[in-house]
Structure 1
Amino acid sequence: MKYGIVGSKGKMGREIMEYFSSFGDECVVEKDVDHFVERDVPQLIIDFSSPQGLKESVELCRKYNCGLIVGTTGLTDESFRLLGELSKTLPVVQSYNFSSGMSIMKEILKAFREQFKDWDCAMIEIHHSQKKDAPSGTAKMLKEVIQRDLSISSIRVGGIFGEHTVIFSNAGEVVEISHRALSRRAFSIGVRRAALFLLTKEKGFFTYEDVLKGVDKAAEELRGISELL
């Protein structure tokens, strides 16, 4: 796979390049502040930069006629307008979190939110001290899943990759649902799954949940073929 990355000098950008290289994938376009390297034409662009850099990522996709994966947080309405326009002609995968475990947590919250509707609810999210946005994009995403107003406490300390805990409580008991990323590798694994998924699409706007469903469908088809054989 030949790919480009916007935010190539960032921690997540470097992690993605290291992980992808273990499969023989080649980063042919690197873009960051005052840095641009073009070695070949990419099959897709990966953006882990900033909301301000998204416009350049969209322009690169139009230049190379390739899809886009966006993991940047702090996106605005204008950001989603740009992505929506791009998705009319090219495939786009956008998520604030590319961890499979977080996708499972979302499904758990979706399944049980009605049972907790009469309980108090709050959220705590912890990230490294260099993270600029608060609350995190993942915290906002979880709040949308829960579908209620709740307090979000954001802590920025040390080098923590990401922890999110949703707390439900009544007068006599507490239920906590948590996810903790142990390294950035959890996200880079998800980004590569998204990349492989993206290469099968001609256009459209997709989430990481769409990616996982696509992977599950492919696995089911392969199982069906093996049973016939």
Structure 2
Amino acid sequence: MISINNSSPLLRIAVTGITGRMGKKIIEYFLIKKNKQLSKKIILGAAIVRKNSSICGIDIGTFNKINEFGVKITDNLELIKDDFDTLIDFTAPDISIQYLNFCVKNNKSIVIGTTGFKQQHKNIIRNASKTIGVMYSANFSIGIALILKILHKITKIIGNNADISIIETHHNKKRDIPSGTAIMMQDLIRDTLQSIQTNKSINYNLKKRMYPSKQKNIIYDIPIHSIRIGNVVGEHTVLFNILGERLEITHKADDRAIFAYGALCAAIWLGCNKKGLFEIHDIL
């Protein structure tokens, strides 16, 4: 059990975008209690929707057609700022930045799973992490976190002698192309190849990717091929082709519940006392 504050041993979570794909999945963990271990460490403190939503004021349990839960849906952060410790956000870049600024102002931790950020957004996230705890990742799958570690090792061994490509497939409603996860993989592979060329070891982490390099680095061609079709949750494959053989590293997500679980685990790990910029592999 983690001690979060003086009044409660549980970490109080606020969830934004509760009518979206990820928001719904995260809320399910509280309403259905899918994971008993998580239930012992967190409670739902607030359920947040876009401004002027017609569902404001409805109990989150009633809205999801189960028993009344005791948390009213709201679009007013000021009204519920004392009801949560950590906010989990999977919305859109500009909206995420608004929530981030609120968290900085009110000393709340934040877990950000939104993708498609531009560099100016990343600069704001980086600066916010000097004041509060920020967990930011393009993918909250524990499997992806492990694959990133594997890709680093494979690239060190055969990267210089292989043709490398990335294929990513998502549902046809996904806005950002390529996916944030594919870019994360591309950055890791490029940084690893760069470290081999310069004989310098790298500690691959989020801060490195958030700070654009001013050095003249070699640009390695690691193409990303994006497919948008049907309702695919997410698939990523990295191909290493060397003479006469091909190695494929693949991750397939069949249910968004894995991202919800990862985000909640990240929120528990982050708590409300840490400060700095973190990503999902930090909790492994």
One fold, TM greater than 0.5?
A: yes
Q: Which amino acid aligns with 2:261?
A: I
- 2:175 paired with 1:98: no
1:140 paired to 2:183? yes
Following TM superposition, by how much is the alpha carbon of 1:29 offset from its aligned partner in structure 2, in angstroms?
A: 4.1
Tell whether the 8 Å contact from 2:164 to 2:223 is kept in structure 1 after alignment: yes
Distance 2:18 2:48 in 1: 6
Structure 1 CA distance for aligned equivalents of residues 182 and 281 of structure 2: 16
> Among the aligned pairs, what percent are the same residue?
35
Output aligned runs, 1:40-119, within 5 Å: 40-116=82-158, 117-119=160-162
Amino acid across the alignment from 2:250: S
Q: Higher mean Cα deviation, 197-206 or 66-75?
A: 197-206
Corresponding residue of 2:223: 151
Q: CA deviation at 1:58?
A: 1.4
The separation in 1 between residues aligned to 2:228 and 2:183, in whole angstroms, is 16
Q: Which amino acid aligns with 1:196?
A: I
Larger radius of gyration: 2
Distance in 1 of aligned mates of 2:139 and 2:51: 23
Match of 1:224 in 2: none
Aligned to 2:172: 129
| Cα drift, residue 45 of structure 1 | 1.1
Counterpart residue number, 1:187: 259
Count residues with an aligned counterpart: 212
What's the TM-score, normalizing by structure 2?
A: 0.70
Which residue in the other structure is 1:226 paired with? none
Matched-pair contact (CA < 8 Å) for 2:86–2:272? no
More strand as a share of residues: 1
Shift of the alpha carbon at 1:63? Answer: 4.2
Seen in structure 2, the aligned counterparts of structure 1 residues 69 and 52 have a Cα distance that, compared at 3 Å, is same
1:28 aligns with 2:46: yes
Kindly indicate whether the alpha-carbon contact (under 8 Å) linking 2:45 and 2:83 is maintained by their aligned counterparts in 1. no
Q: CA deviation at 1:81?
A: 1.3
> Equivalent residue for 2:198?
none
**RMSD (Å) for aligned C-alpha atoms:** 1.7
Q: For residues 174 and 202 of structure 1, do their structure 2 counterparts lie closer, same or farther at Cα, with a shift above 3 Å needed?
A: closer
